[in-house]
Amino acid sequence: MSDVWYVAEPDGTTCGPMSRDEVVRAAGRGEFGSDALAWHVDLGEWLPLSRILLRFGRATQEAPSAAQVAKAERRDERSKQRQLPPSQRSEPAPKTSAEERKRRVVTPTRPQPPALPGARASTRSDNPRTAAAAEESGRKLLQLGKRLLARYVDLMVIGMLGASIWWSRSESMRMPEAGDSPQVWLLLWMATIVLLPVESILIGMFGTTPGKHLLGLRLRDERGSAPGIARALRRSFHVYVRGIALGFPFLAPFAILIAGAQTLNKGSAPWDEGLRIEEESVTSRWQLIAFLVVLLWIAAANGWWLQLVQSLPH
């Protein structure tokens, strides 16, 4: 006899196929709602799961067999029919022929439950809590990626522009005739220093930066306002010390990995205590973001920012 059961929630989400023991254990763990329905090929229709479990001793953790459930349903139906006037009684269902029973035994197939009227079709065999946890983990990972990309854009635009101005002026004061360019890693390190106060001012006043705005991110405090410059400055200091190790080339990657793991584990960055991040969809801007990421790296590697600053009249 087939031991394939399906359980459906009121919204149409269906779990299965499951064995009857799995259904009872899952119900004992509270994974199904009070309005959940159960189905088996011998039942013919969806029935309340609580009714089946109550009838066959849920307290003893004994799962009902399909034959017992079907037999009990037929008995209830006959009892109801006897209480009706003869004119209102329905014809009994025809019995299954011997050939049909033989064919079912010889060529067994996995039964499929009938569609739930007015419900969306969605069949899954995994644990609902596991699916929700996986969805939440994906959301956190996406937000972490957006925050890293936003910082990259800010560093390559605001930081590199400021670093180029800093380098050009310091070189012109010390060695006006020198035309050599700094290494990329040195400009990047200078860019991290330049970005610290600029980022603090922008977040403190507006709650966002050009990179965060492009990625749809905005920081808000408990009142729903921008954090303020003093609070944003403390936050940026922790970001640069704990998040990117002051931008040192050989330490920054390890600091970013550690900070990213802490953010995924806790759901928020260590330096965002008391702050929340508002997000908006950037589906229509992903192509622009990808193009900008590549373009900014090419500009930094080829010294375009430095050339632009040096070409401007002093």
Q: What is the pLDDT of residue 67?
A: 56
Q: What is the pLDDT of residue 100?
A: 52
Arithmetic mean of pLDDT over the chain: 76
Q: Which of 199, 205, 217 is nearest to 155 (CA)?
A: 199
Whether residue 63 has pLDDT greater than 70: no
**Strands (DSSP E) along 85-220, which ranges?**
122-124, 217-220
Sequence letter at residue 264: L
pLDDT digit string, tens, across residues 220-278: 988 889 999 999 999 888 888 888 887 777 888 888 888 888 887 777 788 888 888 88
Query: Which residues, 6+ apart, have CB-to-CB distance to 204 below 8 Å?
Result: 226, 227, 228, 229, 230, 231, 232, 233
Q: What percent of the chain has pLDDT over 70?
A: 70
- Check residues 71 and 216 and name the one with the higher pLDDT: 216
- Check residues 52 and 69 and name the one with the higher pLDDT: 52
Whether residue 141 has pLDDT greater than 80: yes
- The residues facing 38 across adjacent strands are 7, 47
- For the chain, the domains span 5-125, 135-311
Match 């006897």 to its residue by tokens: 82
Q: How confident is the model at residue 153 (pLDDT cuts 50, 70, 90)?
A: very high
